[in-house]
Amino acid sequence: MTHKPKIAMYWAAGCGGCEIGFLGIGEKLLEVEANLELIFCPCLVDTKKKDLESLDKEEIALTFFNGAIRTAEDEKMAKRLRDKSRLLVAFGTCAGEGGIPGLSNFSAQQNIYQSVYTDNYSTPNEAATIPKEKTSVPEGELHLPPLLEKVKKLNEVVQVDYYLPGCPPEAHRIEEVLDHVMQGKELPPAGSVLGAGQKTVCEECRREKQDKSIPRFYRTHEIIPEETKCLLEQGIICMGISTRDGCGGLCPEVNMPCTGCYGTPEGITDQGAKMASALGSILDISGIKNKEDEDIEEKVRLTVSTFLDYAGTFYRFTLPNSILKGRKSCGE
Residue 144 inside a domain? The answer is: no
289 and 164 both lie in a single domain: no
- Strand partners for 134: 143
Model confidence at 132: pLDDT above 50: yes
Residue 297 inside a domain? The answer is: yes
Q: Give the up-direction half-sphere exposure of residue 30: CA atoms within 13 A in the CB hemisphere.
A: 2
Model confidence at 4: pLDDT above 70: yes
Residue 145 inside a domain? The answer is: no
Burial class (CB in 10 A: 0-12, 13-18, 19+), 201: buried
- Strand partners for 60: 6, 85
Contact 326, 106 (CB under 8 A): yes
pLDDT tens profile 274-291: 998 888 888 776 666 666
Model confidence at 325: pLDDT above 60: yes
Residue 111 inside a domain? The answer is: no
Would you call 7 helix, strand, or coil by DSSP?
A: strand
221 and 172 both lie in a single domain: no
pLDDT tens profile 165-191: 999 999 999 998 999 889 888 888 999
Name the DSSP letter for residue 135. Answer: E
Please give the average per-residue pLDDT across 256-260, as a whole number. Answer: 96
The percent of residues above 90 in pLDDT, for the chain, comes to: 69
CATH code for position 49: 3.40.50.700
Q: For the beta carbon of residue 65, count every other beta carbon within 10 angstroms.
A: 29
With CA atoms as reference, report the closest residue to 243 among 161, 167, 159: 167
239 and 165 both lie in a single domain: no
pLDDT at 186: 83
C-alpha span between 249 and 159 (Å, rounded): 30
162 and 206 both lie in a single domain: no
158 and 263 both lie in a single domain: no
The percent of residues above 70 in pLDDT, for the chain, comes to: 95
> At 211, is the pLDDT very low, low, confident or very high (cuts 50, 70, 90)?
confident
Is the preceding peptide bond at 42 cis, omega within 30 degrees of 0? Answer: no
pLDDT at 332: 47
Model confidence at 321: pLDDT above 70: yes
Please give the average per-residue pLDDT across 251-272, as a whole number. Answer: 95
Name the DSSP letter for residue 117. Answer: I
Please give the average per-residue pLDDT across 31-48, as a whole number. Answer: 93
174 and 215 both lie in a single domain: no
Residue 316 inside a domain? The answer is: yes
163 and 260 both lie in a single domain: no
pLDDT at 328: 57
Number of structural domains in the chain: 2
Contact 14, 21 (CB under 8 A): no
86 and 220 both lie in a single domain: no
Which domain does 228 fall in, by range? 201-321
Residue 292 inside a domain? The answer is: yes
Which pairing describes strands 60-66 and 6-11: parallel, antiparallel, or unpaired? parallel
225 and 314 both lie in a single domain: yes
pLDDT tens profile 287-296: 666 666 677 7
C-alpha span between 157 and 14 (Å, rounded): 17
Model confidence at 52: pLDDT above 50: yes
